[in-house]
Amino acid sequence: MSKRLSFVKYHQALKPLYDFNQAMHQCGLERPLVELVLMRASQINGCAYCMDMHSKDARAEGETEQRLYMLPGWREAGSIYSERECAALAWTEAVTRLGEHGVSDEVYARALASFSEEELVNLTIIIGMINIWNRINVSFQTPAGSYKPAAKAA
C-alpha cells in the first residue's frame, strides 16, 4: 500500500475542528456517556485510532473494562447501561449509519424521553464530530496504539 500523507502537517486547517471539539466536550453532557458514544461511533466506523483514544480516556475517567468490552452488544447487556445511555447509543448508531430513511421515529422518541432538546442537539453534534474525526483518521490511516490520556487535574 502506498504511504498516506500525514494530516498532522495540515494542523492549521484542522484547528477549527480541534477548537470546536474542545468546546463540545464542555456542553454539559456527562463525560462517561460522551465517551461511550465516541467509542461506539468509532467502532461502527472502524477507526482504530479513535477506539484506542476513547477507550483510554474512558478508563482514565473510571469507566469499567466490562462496559467497554460489551459496548458492541449493548442491546443485550442493557442491565449494565442506564436507559439514558441506551437511548444515546441507539441515537449514536442511527445518526452514524444515517441511511436513506434517516433516524426512525422510535429511536427519536426514545432519545427525546431521555434527553432535553438542547441535550439531544449537543449529543448529535458530538456524534457528527466523532464521525468527522473517524473519517479523517481512517482515510489517512492514522496509526493506533500510542495515544496517552491527559493527566487528571489534582
User: Residue 60 sits in a domain of what CATH number?
Assistant: 1.20.1290.10
The answer as to whether 50 is a domain residue is yes
The answer as to whether 129 is a domain residue is yes
- Cβ atoms within 10 Å, residue 26: 7
The answer as to whether 153 is a domain residue is no
Residue 7, C-beta contacts closer than 8 angstroms, at least 6 positions apart? 14, 136, 140, 142
pLDDT, one tens digit per residue, over 13-43 is 778 888 887 887 788 899 999 999 999 999 9
pLDDT, one tens digit per residue, over 74-118 is 999 979 999 999 999 999 999 999 888 899 999 999 999 999 999
The answer as to whether 6 is a domain residue is no
Separation of CA 33 from chain center? 9
Domain count, the chain: 1
Q: Identify the CA nearest to 84 among candidates 130, 22, 21, 34.
A: 34
Domain containing residue 35: 30-139
